[in-house]
């Protein structure tokens, strides 16, 4: 009888013991309304509170219920776009400013964890990008040189050298970067929520905003009035009829193993635990999380721009299981949890943020493909709305130039337009 995969349960591991704050139960007046309790929304609330504003945050489900809480928890500047891609899209000055921004996002998250003792599975883990081919390794060499030009330290590994830090002979080299770490995105959001509540930020969960007005937002029963409104709903932004052609979603999946022995983990990481992703077009990624579990993530061409979550997706389960078996054939690992997640994306995979086209007191954030991006732009929104800092506006603008414009999208459709524009942004130089 052939070996069969024991399919894991379709369940977000961290949601097994979730707790929620009370829902909005009356009309309110406040200084700042933040819509959305993910990484961007919570950091926006924190930044405005630090400036002395009265802040109210409304979350339709519970903080960390969306992309932030379902994520792999890689806290690293690297996400969909590396320095080389940013240089291609925005030039040296833009790439430097945006890379510094996402580095700052990492710093914000780490400072919160340490300053407020947030219990969120904080693990210091360097980031390792591994080449899937000789050509991909040449691209890593270019990335290494570009990081050096921007003043960031990395280490390049040849194929032979790589086996010293990763227990696989299947890759063609790697690029390691430093001062990165992993967290549970859900636990971080919940812990930061609790801290914000303790210092006076009003947080209401199970409070779905259904309408955004010039100076207020409405749930099905109540209204909250404020001077400024920050909308951090990521892929749901088009549901408010805001920038419907400029925000879509990409789907990725995470799979979680049973707890591993120390010996098994050392076969994967001979020296120290790392956060790893490869250079495939639709890349795979993995790291060790709490309880010594191996997390592995990825997607495929069919699912990535599907447009809605696909549960119990056995094709992806088999794909990820096969990937780990191929890269680490000496190991036998059983997986216990599996879940899909959707992240908001722009047409060049860089974040989008900016004020409403009519009302300058309303600010939107979306497409932050990485927790540090979301944290940094949430924080930046407090500077931007007070006109303290608008230096990033042209790089984050919803109206910046994309490979597939809005006119072409009308004929191609949204799914094809985003897939094509993302591909061009990643692999073709201007």
Q: Find, among 61, 66, 42, the residue nearest to 343 by Cα.
A: 66
Distance CA 275, CA 71 (A): 13
DSSP annotation of 23: P
Distance CA 146, CA 154 (A): 10
CB contact set of 112 (below 8 Å; sequence gap of 6+): 46, 118, 188, 192, 195
Domain boundaries, the chain: 19-71+186-244+349-403
What phi and psi, each to the nearest 5 degrees, are found at residue 132? -90, -5
Distance CA 201, CA 264 (A): 44
Q: What is the pLDDT of residue 16?
A: 84
Q: Find, among 363, 417, 410, 416, the residue nearest to 387 by Cα.
A: 363
Tens place of pLDDT per residue across the chain (430 aa):
445 567 899 999 999 877 788 999 999 999 999 999 999 999 999 999 999 999 999 999 999 999 999 999 999 998 888 999 999 999 999 999 999 999 999 999 999 999 999 999 999 999 999 999 999 999 999 999 999 999 999 999 999 999 999 999 999 999 999 999 999 999 999 999 999 999 999 999 999 999 999 999 999 999 999 999 999 999 999 999 999 999 999 999 999 999 999 999 999 999 999 999 999 999 999 999 999 999 999 999 999 999 999 999 999 999 999 999 999 999 999 999 999 999 999 999 999 999 999 999 999 999 999 999 999 999 999 988 777 768 898 999 999 999 999 999 999 999 999 999 988 888 776 5
Residue holding tokens 């120390």?
262
Distance CA 30, CA 48 (A): 12
- Burial (Cβ within 10 Å: 0-12, 13-18, ≥19) of residue 408: middle
**What is the enclosing helix (H) or strand (E) of 196?**
helix 185-198
**What is the enclosing helix (H) or strand (E) of 186?**
helix 185-198
Contact predicate 6/334, CB 8 Å: yes
- On the CB side of 219, how many CA atoms lie within 13 Å of its CA? 22
Contact predicate 206/61, CB 8 Å: yes
The CATH superfamily holding the domain 19-71+186-244+349-403 is FAD/NAD(P)-binding domain (3.50.50.60)
What residues pair up with 248 in beta bridges, in sequence order? 345
Q: What is the pLDDT of residue 343?
A: 95
Distance CA 417, CA 46 (A): 36
3 state SS of 276? strand
Distance CA 389, CA 429 (A): 30
Report pTM: 0.95
Q: How far apart are the first and last CA of the chain?
A: 54
């Amino acid at each position: 009888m052939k070996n069969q995969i024991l399919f894991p349960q379709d369940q977000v591991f961290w949601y097994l013991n979730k707790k929620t704050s009370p829902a909005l139960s009356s009309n309110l007046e406040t200084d700042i309304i933040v819509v959305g309790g993910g990484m961007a929304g919570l950091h926006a609330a924190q930044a405005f509170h630090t400036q002395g504003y009265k802040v109210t945050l409304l979350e339709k489900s519970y903080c960390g219920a969306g992309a932030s809480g379902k994520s792999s928890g890689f806290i690293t500047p690297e996400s969909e776009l590396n320095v080389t891609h940013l240089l291609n899209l925005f030039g040296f000055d833009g790439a430097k400013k945006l890379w510094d921004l996402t580095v700052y996002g990492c710093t914000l998250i780490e400072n919160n964890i340490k300053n407020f003792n947030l219990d969120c599975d904080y693990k210091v883990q360097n980031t390792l990008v591994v080449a899937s081919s000789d050509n991909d390794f040449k691209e890593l060499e270019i990335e290494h040189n570009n990081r050096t030009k921007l003043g960031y330290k990395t280490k390049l590994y040849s194929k032979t050298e790589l086996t010293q830090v990763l227990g696989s002979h299947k890759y063609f080299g790697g690029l390691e970067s430093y001062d990165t770490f992993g967290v549970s995105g859900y636990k971080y959001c919940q812990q930061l929520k609790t801290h914000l509540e303790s210092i006076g930020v009003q947080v209401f969960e199970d409070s779905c905003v259904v309408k955004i007005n010039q100076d207020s937002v409405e749930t099905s029963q109540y209204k909250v009035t404020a001077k400024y409104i920050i909308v951090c709903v990521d892929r749901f932004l088009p549901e408010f009829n805001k920038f419907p052609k400029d925000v879509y979603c990409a789907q990725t999946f995470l799979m979680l193993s049973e707890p591993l022995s120390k010996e098994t983990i050392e076969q994967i990481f001979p020296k120290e635990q790392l956060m790893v992703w490869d250079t495939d077009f639709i890349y795979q990624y993995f790291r060790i999380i709490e309880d010594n579990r191996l997390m592995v993530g990825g997607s495929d061409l069919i699912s990535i721009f599907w447009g809605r979550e696909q549960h119990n997706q056995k094709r992806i389960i088999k794909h990820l299981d096969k990937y780990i078996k191929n890269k680490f054939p000496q190991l036998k690992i059983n997986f216990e949890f599996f879940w899909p997640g959707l992240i908001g994306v722009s047409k060049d995979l860089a974040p989008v943020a900016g004020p409403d086209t009519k009302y300058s007191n309303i600010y939107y954030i979306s497409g932050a493909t990485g927790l540090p991006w979301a944290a940094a732009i949430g924080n930046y929104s407090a500077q931007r709305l007070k006109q303290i800092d608008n230096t990033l506006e042209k790089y984050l603008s919803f109206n910046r130039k994309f490979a597939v414009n809005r006119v072409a999208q009308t004929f191609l459709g949204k799914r094809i337009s985003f897939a094509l524009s993302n591909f061009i942004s990643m692999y073709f130089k201007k």
